Structure 1
Amino acid sequence: MFKWKKKEKETKSYDEGAVDASLFTGKEEEVQDTDEVYTELSLHPDWHLPEEEAYVYRFYNSDLPPLKPNQVSVSGFDIQKKDQNILVKAFLRNSLQRGIHFKPTSILLLDKQGQLMARKHFDLTDVGLLPGRSSRPWIFDFHQKDFINGDTNIPVNGWKLAFETHTRKHSLDLEETWEQSLDTEEIDKLEEYVSNINPPKPGEVNFLGLQVTFGNEGNLHVTLLVRNGNEEDITLKSIPLIVEDATGKVIAKGGFKLNDLKVKAHTSKPWTFVFPKNKVNRDEVDLSRWKVYPK
């Protein structure tokens, strides 16, 4: 008896860069009565391209794999190096029956094995309304600072783009001197405080006041959180600060030189700034509320 080889079940190849559309719509969508969605080319209204270039986009779009219902994707098709930057052409795709607006989000550049090469936050609101079941070409520029190891060489064995689908948790970053001077309970309270407040917006660096007190010599001690919402560490060399009381009156201002104060990505670092007496106005100060900000 011959043992006939069973025919393997044919599997469809879908867009591997696709994610659930709720990442951008914020809600679950109605189930569509189809297994796969092919997207039509939709050029941005402000793009006025010669017919030859539009044809190239139509050609690449026709070669895209299908999406599953209720998905969006970023599908790269061309990558070029320009100076120390990498320019990636890609399609933003929408398999919903209705149009959607993309929001600011982080795009990942991965090698063929899925290892992270670069990460950058892009304001995708500029894409505009992407109609239902359509693809829109877009260009993503990655700078050298966006690359994990600074290597901007194009991978010879393949690459792909992806949405960053998880938000990195914002956490406390303590200098060693602070870890040594604070007890465990104080550190725990700081960690709890940082985890419970809203993190800075992606790409934002801001300052949040923690404590303000007058010293015995008339100087002003201001402790604040330096909050880094970037995907990479930042280093502060100097900072000018202004402190206002509850009435909005400026009670202190001055510049501070920092010894290359480093704040890690997605962390908040507490730091105390001491304004000397000659930089402080103590007349009728109301510290029931106060704020500090760079000038």
Structure 2
Amino acid sequence: MTQTLVFESAWDRTIAKIDRERIQNIFQDTSRSLHLSIQFTTLTIARNYKGELLVTVLIHNPTNDDLAFYEKEIYFTANGKTIAKHTFTHPSLLVKQKTSMPWTFIFPVGSFNDEDKIEDGVLAIV
């Protein structure tokens, strides 16, 4: 079974064509070199009007098990340093086995250090 790219229903309805194509291209480039563990490919890093840290990634689940996000501790690291850490529960987020899916993780104010540079960060799951 090969890796498949899927979009959560809200993403599928609202994503701009240019963004969909960009994600599809990144998926094509990254899906060939996946290991047998959960991996994230960073797509964008931003702050919203509330000051929250938004990290949009491709979640790659090349395993034989579905991945549910219930009380999953997610780390955002840059240059070997933990920039942000937060426990996420998203009942609607289920990444099926052998599937990749784009998602935005929102780190609330207080879960990250405003002083740290975040441009080259990556996510990791515990």
TM-score for both structures, normalised by structure 1: 0.39
Instruction: Give the corresponding residue for 2:86.
Output: 254
Figure out how many residues of one structure are paired with residues of the other and give that number.
Answer: 125
Instruction: Kindly report the root-mean-square deviation, in angstroms, between the aligned alpha carbons of the 2 structures.
Output: 2.0
> Which consecutive residues of structure 2, in runs of 5 or more, have no partner in the other structure?
none
Offset of residue 282 of structure 1: 0.8
Alignment of 1:27-66 (within 5 A): none
Instruction: Give the corresponding residue for 1:280.
Output: 112
User: Is the alpha carbon distance of 1:188 and 1:222 closer, same or farther for their aligned partners in structure 2, counting shifts above 3 Å?
Assistant: same
Percent pairwise identity: 24
What is the rounded CA distance, in whole Å, between the counterparts of 1:216 and 1:282 in structure 2? 14
- CA contact 1:172–1:190 (8 Å) conserved in 2: no
CA deviation digits over 1:201-223, x for unaligned, max 9?
A: 24x22223222112232211111
> Which consecutive residues of structure 1, in runs of 5 or more, have no partner in the other structure?
1-167
Offset of residue 179 of structure 1: 0.8
Aligned with 2:6 (options 173, 178, 185): 173
CA deviation digits over 1:103-138, x for unaligned, max 9?
A: xxxxxxxxxxxxxxxxxxxxxxxxxxxxxxxxxxxx
1:216 equivalent to 2:44? Answer no
Query: Higher Cα Rg: structure 1 or 2?
Result: 1
**Secondary structure at 1:278 match in 2:** coil
Bigger relative CO (Cα 8 Å, ≥ 6 apart): 2
Letter in 2 for 1:250: T
What is the rounded CA distance, in whole Å, between the counterparts of 1:232 and 1:264 in structure 2? 7
1:265 equivalent to 2:110? Answer no
CA deviation digits over 1:144-177, x for unaligned, max 9?
A: xxxxxxxxxxxxxxxxxxxxxxxx3322111010
- Structure with the higher fraction of residues in strand conformation: 2
**Secondary structure at 1:273 match in 2:** strand
Aligned with 1:190 (options 4, 23, 33): 23
